[in-house]
Amino acid sequence: MQTLLDVILPVFLVIGFGYVSVWRGLFPVAGVDGVLRFAQSFAVPCLLFQAIANLDLSASFNAGLLISFYTGAAICFTLGMIGARVLFKREWEDCVAIGFCCLFSNSVLLGLPISERAYGPEGLTGNYMIIALHSPFCYGLGITVMEVVRSRGQSGLALVGSIGNAMFHNPLVIGILAGFAVNLTNFPIPGVVDDALSLIVRAALPAALFALGGVLIQYKPEGDFKAIAMVCCIALMVHPALVWIIGTSLSVPPDLFRSGVLTAAMAPGFNAYIFANIYGRGKRVAASSALVATGLSILTVWLWLAVLG
């Protein structure tokens, strides 16, 4: 339990600084919007670019691990989207944003440090396999479904055009694709450029978390408690349970199996709010779910660690 507090509490403190700063008038709402734009459009894309550009893609990926994790993620996305529509009568655009909250686990900010503390640096191979495809898969699925929903009635060609336009104008997707391009071509990044990227990257997560705390002032969870509870249940319990079931059936090796289940058990990351903010839909549910689920994960991750042994 102390290990989880050591990892999760600093995250809460940064979010809390943003919340209190705006609440007490120490930081303007307009300033939070600027920090959010910096994180969303520059810092986080740089982080994704640098991480993927430097990732060892030559390592052999385990198909069973990836199938179990991403099949579970896609099922949870569908459950969240349909649940928001059937149970809460939300508009389809909101349903996609809420489904994205159930899809995107916080694989980096929480998943990596918790897995490292639990199983050591040598036990992170499975985490890196998942992270390499995490953003491309989740944003690709989320953006595609959102554009399909937004483009109801358009011709097939127009629909493909709107999806492509959304994908290739999204800074996060651009950062991901650029990272893969550099990695696969072995293009050397000049040292001075890499150092500059590192400076921006170091600001990415703190800025994103601070901005999340600031926006919580604007999006109170009133009226969305049931939707937030659904997201927390799917993200923290259903996803890891699905990875457990599918991974067992596919005989995923024990070390990779642990990485898959534990990563799936992470709370929705800040990317859930970024996605909602890009489209201006479901922002209150996304912001509150990220905060509430991160708090609940202190208990649920402890449970999954105990079960995994």
- For residue 7, the model assigns a pLDDT of 67
| Contact indicator for 265, 81 with CB cutoff of 8 Å | no
> What is the Cα–Cα distance from 227 to 197, expressed in whole angstroms?
38
Which pLDDT score, from 0 to 100, does residue 153 have? 60
Mean pLDDT by 10 residues, the chain (309 residues): 69 86 91 89 87 73 93 98 96 96 88 84 84 85 89 66 71 86 91 93 87 78 86 97 98 94 91 88 90 87 89
Going from N- to C-terminal start, the domains of the chain cover: 2-308
What is the predicted pLDDT for the residue at 74?
A: 98
Alpha-carbon distance of 97 to 115, in angstroms, equals 28
* Three-state DSSP class for residue 105: strand
φ, ψ of residue 253 in degrees (nearest 5)? -55, 145
Name the CATH topology of 2-308: Na+/H+ antiporter like fold (1.20.1530)
Task: State the angle between helix axes of 254-264 and 125-150 in degrees (0 to 180), rounded to the nearest 10.
Answer: 40
pLDDT at 252: 95
Measured on CA atoms in the order 149, 154, 157, 161, is the torsion positive or negative?
A: negative
Residues in the chain: 309
What is the structure's pLDDT at 159?
A: 63
Q: Which long-range contacts (CB under 8 A, 24 or more apart) does 42-45 make?
A: 42/171, 42/200, 43/200, 43/201, 43/203, 43/204, 43/207, 43/208, 44/171, 44/172, 44/175, 44/204, 44/208, 44/270, 44/271, 44/274, 45/171, 45/172, 45/174, 45/175, 45/176
